[in-house]
Amino acid sequence: MSTLRSKDPNPPRLPEWIIQRLAWAEDRFSIQENFHEEYTYILETGGRRSADLWYWRQLIRSIFPFVKFSIYWRSVMIKNYLKLLFRSMNKHKGYSFINIAGLTVGLACFILISLWISFEISYDRFHENRDNLYQVIGENLLPNGDLHIFPNTPAALAQALKMERPEIKNVSRSLEWLEFLLGTEEKRFLERVRFVDPAFLQMFAVEFMKGNPKTALSQPHSIILTENIANKHFPDQDALGQEILVGQIGSFLVTGVIKGMPVNSSLRSLCLLPVESLRDMGWDIDKWGGGNYHTYVHLEEEANLEFFKAQIRGIYKKYAPNWEVSKLTLRPITKIHLYDLNGGGPIVFVYVFSGLSIFILLLAMVNFTNLSTARSSLRAKEIGVRKAAGAYRQQLTWQILMESILVALFSGCFAVVIAYLLLPVLNQLTGARIDFNVNGEMALFLTGIVILTGVISGIYPAFILSSMNPVRAIKGAVKPGKNSLLLRKVLIAFQFSLSIFMIIAMFGVNKQLKYLKTKELGYNQGNVVAMGLDQEISGHYRTIQTEFMRNPDILSMTRCSSNMGTKSTTTGGDAVTWEGKPNSIEMPKTHLMRADPEFLATFQIDMLHGRFFSNEFPNDVMESAVINETAMKTMDLKSPVGKRLTVWNQNFRIIGVIKDFHFYSLHDEIQPLIFIHRFAGYSQIFIRVNPQNIPETMSFIQNKTKEIIPGYIPNLRFLDDNLDNIYITEQRMVTGTRYFTFLAIFISCIGLLGLASFSVRQRTKEIAIRKVLGASEGNIVLKLFKETLVCVLAANIVVCPIAYLVLQGWLQNYAYRTTLGIGIFILASLLTVVLAFLSVGWNVLKASLENPVDSLRYE
């Protein structure tokens, strides 16, 4: 024995530690002892080297069986946990319902939002060259110091870039704002088309159904139709090789049919024509300056992006020394959808909605945690017995955690079903078209989230429950600690904070939307029909006007270059000067609108000074200008009528000042506006109709137009519908916050309901004794509701100022905004108090109505 002790076996530390980790608790010691014994034996007979070697080999060979058996025994335990879980869920149905319903709703919401976000992020990622495709954009510093970013570039830029920079693989212009009457002699529609360079087809993922992408655009007067348009005009025949009329440019040969762009494309699905065709309209497509082209570049894989960006401006300067150059830079194609050029864009919604969905999920987790800790006394006996029977604390923690993970997994399954059913609602809400195809990555992510949900909601109860003293637990002497009581109250307050915030946000956003939609615009937008206009229709305008005005239900009609909401030509700075202009005043962003004399009558706007254009003064065309009130103030003119005005080196005489009206969306303040009168260049016809016979009038307009312009079927819309569409983002926000508010309230209230029903049951005797001593039902209800009331009120006090600040911040986006007022805050507070009272009160009332004898009988 003494020899053995002198050669005290000292096995290598690391493998010993690994064995301890791997072996299950029951046999850990024995296994270690065995290793020790054999190690000692080999040490004595064969020396340390072979002993160490043996130890390592034995360990490595053991790892697999150890892991295998561990997993086996874990799964046996999970089976056991499942059985216990089902039993307890069955026993406490209401409680399980609250937990599962809450988590299901939270997870379903999370899944839907994840699907939506992955859809938003997928925009423009279907292009094979997505990582090397860029759009050239310009940056302009406005006089007021703001940066104005715009996508329009001159026509000649693309070719110059290609010539100067070797790192450009391909470059293409794209002109996508022209509309033409497109079709055959029998049937024509006003369609927007896209003019591009042939390289466009190599750069972007344009999927050809017919035709050769290499040659399709090489000849002018060739056109590539989208599948839709091809089917519209050549329903039962092969469109390839057919002739189609494009406005007044003439007849085009169909050289290809392409599939429409996918839903997640920021490039709209349009027919493609070669830019060269524009020459036939008399356009100079090689000019610098101005320009409404988008320029896309495809860079070589190894191109140095920053270096390239720095070169663009220099190239511009070299080719067009006479033109004022704004800063030109690039943005990746994959950012076009998510980020609007001048800040904002769908990315804001991505952040806001993912934040909200995480919060909703948190609410559901809070319910779980709260209910589990509240009910810990109920489980105390089970835990106590398990401990007494020799369960390790770690095993108990694991068990309770496992239960919450299992509950989360159940809820996850339900949530998937619910998300699937609600997907159409989401699509309607967001205007997206999302399919329920969850790929592997997504599935893994969601499973991870579900498990994480289980862990987060179960971790606190698991530690609380497993730390109980078994003796006291079995005796039933365990009272929930002060800490967990406090935590529960804080969590309730947190839940209600979010609900209150959502309610206030919902009211606030709604109020602003209502304000935007009902605000007086300064003109009469009701009963006005809008109709598109291209060069060819313009040519027929006199005939159209004469014919239309014969119909007594058509009160007035006008042409202008704006759609009264989002489209506008702007100028400003040096481009605008006038008689007596002091040097101190420089025009800020100024809108330029072409309109004919009927504009005033059609929109029923009043003049402030002078007169509007008139047919009696033929010189009004080209020579006269009308400005709005804001322009007059900005220019600081006392008597503007008769003054000379120069815009873009053309001279006009101001003949009148029109009262301010909102010709642009209410996001911006009314800006200076200059009207000019021209023969052409209009983009919209507006027709004021009699509200009585609208259907007849509409079909009259349809038929007459088709008569005058053979085959043309106009797409008629009401102006007020168009204007409502401007605020579609706000509309979606209203609907979105409504859903989220409902979810937040639902989850908070069922959680509170569960807690209340439990705490009332625990206090049955207290209630009975109070009753015996003479307390009225009302007294008791109030007494028990007081605790919750304090939480809710505290939440209100904290949240209202925050919500106020957030909403005010949001309203800063609007030049015209509603006042929030104290009303919505009071309403939100009242609503939450009432909801809390309903969730708590019902249980409390039930308990207080009971006969005290029943509750006290068993004492």
Q: Contact positions toward another protein, by CB under 8 A?
A: 22-24, 26-27, 29-31, 33-35, 37-38, 58, 61-66, 68-69, 72-73
| DSSP labels, 645-706 | EEETTEEEEEEEEEPP---S-TTS----EEEE--SS---EEEEEE-STTHHHHHHHHHHHHH
Least CB distance to another protein at residue 27 (A)? 5
Distance between CA atoms of 546 and 533, rounded to whole angstroms? 17
Cα 72 versus chain centre, distance: 45
Three-state SS for 80? helix
CB within 8 Å of 192: residues ≥ 6 apart: 176, 177, 178, 179, 268, 270
CB of 393 to another protein, least distance (A): 19
User: By the 8 A CB rule, do 135 and 334 touch?
Assistant: no
Task: Provide the minimum distance between the beta carbon of 65 and another protein in the complex, in angstroms, as a whole number.
Answer: 3
Task: Pick between residue 22 and residue 149 the one whose CB is nearest to another protein.
Answer: 22
Rg from Cα positions in the chain: 37
Place of tokens 């060979």: 61
Closest contact distance (angstroms) between CB of 40 and another protein is 10
**Backbone phi, then psi, for 804, in 5-degree steps?**
-60, -45
Residue 35 or 293: the one with the smaller Cβ distance to another protein is 35
Distances (CA, A) of 453 to 103, 490, 491, 766, 803: 8, 20, 16, 36, 27
Question: How far is residue 129 CA from its own chain's centroid?
Answer: 25
| Identity of the residue, 41 or 97, whose beta carbon is nearer to another protein in the bound complex | 41
**CB under 8 Å to 799, separation ≥6 — which residues?**
497, 500, 501, 504
Q: Which is nearer to another protein, 66 or 177 (CB)?
A: 66
Considering beta carbons, is residue 37 or 574 the nearer one to another protein? Answer: 37
Q: Which two tokens stand for residue 218?
A: 């090489």
- Shortest spacing between CB 58 and another protein, in angstroms: 6
- Residue 10: CB minimum distance to another protein, A: 14
In whole angstroms, how far apart are CA 804 and each of 479, 505, 801, 819, 823? 41, 9, 5, 11, 12
CB 562 within 8 A of CB 684: yes
User: Across-strand partners of 594?
Assistant: 676
Residue 25 vs 773, nearer CB to another protein = 25
H/E stretch holding 137 reads strand 133-141
Shortest spacing between CB 20 and another protein, in angstroms: 13
Residue 41 Cβ, how far from another protein at the closest point, in Å?
A: 8
Contacts of 823 (CB under 8 A, 6+ apart): none
The helix (H) or strand (E) run that includes residue 118 is: helix 93-121
Separation between Cα atoms, residue 811 and residue 824, nearest integer Å: 15
Q: Are 269 and 260 in contact (CB under 8 A)?
A: yes
Coil vs helix vs strand at 718: strand
The nearest distance, CB 365 to another protein, in angstroms, is 36
Cα gap 197→203, rounded to integer Å: 10
Buried b (16+ CB within 10 A) or exposed e, 676-689: bbeeeebbbbbbbb
Cβ 769 to another protein, closest distance in Å? 51
Least distance to another protein from the beta carbon of 391, Å? Answer: 17
Q: Torsion over CA of 738, 743, 745 and 750, rounded to 10 degrees?
A: 160
Minimal distance, residue 383 CB to another protein, in Å = 24
Q: How far is the CB of 30 from another protein (least distance, A)?
A: 4
**Shortest Å distance, C-beta 23 to another protein:** 7
Residue 14: CB minimum distance to another protein, A: 17
φ and ψ of 224, to 5 deg: -105, 120
> Would you say 33 or 44 has its CB closer to another protein?
33
CB 223 within 8 A of CB 246: yes
Do 658 and 596 touch, CB atoms closer than 8 A? no
What are the tokens at 654? 């101001």
Closer to another protein by Cβ: residue 38 or 276? 38
In the complex, minimum distance from the CB of residue 123 to another protein, in angstroms, rounded to a whole number = 52
Closest to another protein by CB, 58 vs 535, is 58
Max distance between CA atoms of the chain, in angstroms, equals 129
* CB contact at 8 A, 837 and 508: no
Closest distance to another protein from the beta carbon of 13 (Å) = 18
d(CA 222, CA 215): 10
Residues 341, 563, 641, CA angle at the centre, nearest 5°?
Answer: 105
Q: Which residues pair with 208 in a beta bridge?
A: 258
Tokens matching residue 778: 């009302």
State the Cα angle at 501 between 498 and 504, rounded to 5°: 150
| Minimum CB–partner distance for residue 6 and another protein (Å) | 15
| Sign (positive or negative) of CA dihedral 357, 362, 367, 372 | positive
